[in-house]
Structure 1
């Protein structure tokens, strides 16, 4: 570091600079200190300072939300096989969270559908996640590797299952509760505002 004429360290000028992550291609900015005319700088701070994390509502059990978020995080940095494997893990964990603990994953997914916890198209989506996850788990990727685009689709299908099993029912229940609360408040207001006439 250079010094002032009286021997004190001279503060290097700092600049906010834009960069692109080589893995996920997302933009980020860095506060960089440059010493003189040197091209190399010292990175003082990154924004964001960590990869973004997919967030799920509280209606999704925490452990399942964490597994699903890991699928998204893996996808963002180009780890497509890891993303697909975590998507498959999320599907199986979802079935278990609904009390479906016996049989293989085929049976678990079909049980979700048989118990009317998911629609037919969501069942089919879950099976597609299972197919891709099995390929990744068993190493069947030499001749037909999973592409980044396919992995992205698989993670989207995983989210479709979470929406059908946890998120949409919770939203529906919340809306029904809000409607009932309005109805109760209206009924109470009508009762309290009733005028009792003289006999």
Structure 2
């Protein structure tokens, strides 16, 4: 049983192979770059999803055995289950773009996710009054001003460099799922440094002050 996010109940849970797996295409049997498909049942709600596997060479085990033992993130799922994320305490126009970047990554649109993540960083800098110069300069100014930590500054430059490649049409090298996931995670860390952590600190201080006033009254 392999794990996947169910498109119906949204649970990240086991999915069991049901029925026979088969190659699909214009001709029976194996073809170069052929797809195989199989149906899986969600262990929580019983919903059925179809998963596709792409093969450049035939699998070394029977197809049903491969489709029963492969990792869920190695398959293309239809319908896809779009994961999403909210970014509280972030200005709405930036939070919405960050949410779109997260959803692009969830749907395996990795280049779009990275380009949006880069745009989120630039919008964050502008929202904090850092408007002059390139994005490189904006990131440096945010770090100098104490808006982001040094390690997050380095991460922001990594996102900037990948985003620059996408923006300039340098699509030769593929983007892996791991790279895209890392970029989205780093985007979240930047938003946490600039908005969410200060907001949480302010809330904690207000709560502590309210308790002190309550004891003194």
| TM-based fold match above 0.5 | yes
Q: Deviations over 1:24-71 (max 9, x none)?
A: 86989xxxxxxxxxxxxxxxxx9x9x83431111x1011111111111
Give yes or no for the alignment of 1:71 onto 2:101.
yes
Residues 136-176 of structure 1, C-alpha deviation per residue, up to 9 Å, x if partnerless?
A: 1112221x222121111111111110010000000000001
Matched with 1:53 is: 84
Q: Map 1:177-196 onto structure 2 (within 5 A).
A: 177-188=206-217
The aligned counterpart of 1:19 is: 49
Aligned partners of 2:124, 2:142: CA distance in 1, in Å? 9
Matched position secondary structure for 1:125: helix
Between structure 1 and structure 2, the one with the greater Rg is 1
Q: CA deviation at 1:113?
A: 0.7
Are the counterparts in 2 of residues 71 and 82 from structure 1 also a CA contact under 8 Å? yes
Q: Does the 8 A contact of 2:84 with 2:106 survive in 1?
A: no
Whether 2:181 is the aligned partner of 1:172: answer no
Alignment check: 8 A CA contact 1:18 1:27 kept: no
Following the alignment from structure 1 to structure 2, what is the Cα–Cα distance between the partners of residues 182 and 91? 37
SS in 2 for 1:19: strand
Displacement over 6 Å in runs of 4+: 24-28
Matches within 5 A, 1:99-138: 99-138=129-168
RMSD over aligned Cα atoms: 2.5
The structure in which a higher percent of residues are strand is 2
Partner of 1:159: 188
Unaligned runs of 5+ in 1: 1-14, 29-45, 189-199
Q: For structure 2, which runs of at least 5 residues remain unmatched after alignment?
A: 1-44, 53-72
1:181–1:151 distance in 2 versus 1, CA, 3 Å: same
What is the number of residues matched between the two proteins? 153
| SS of residue in 2 equivalent to 1:132 | helix
The 3-state SS of whatever aligns with 2:171 is coil
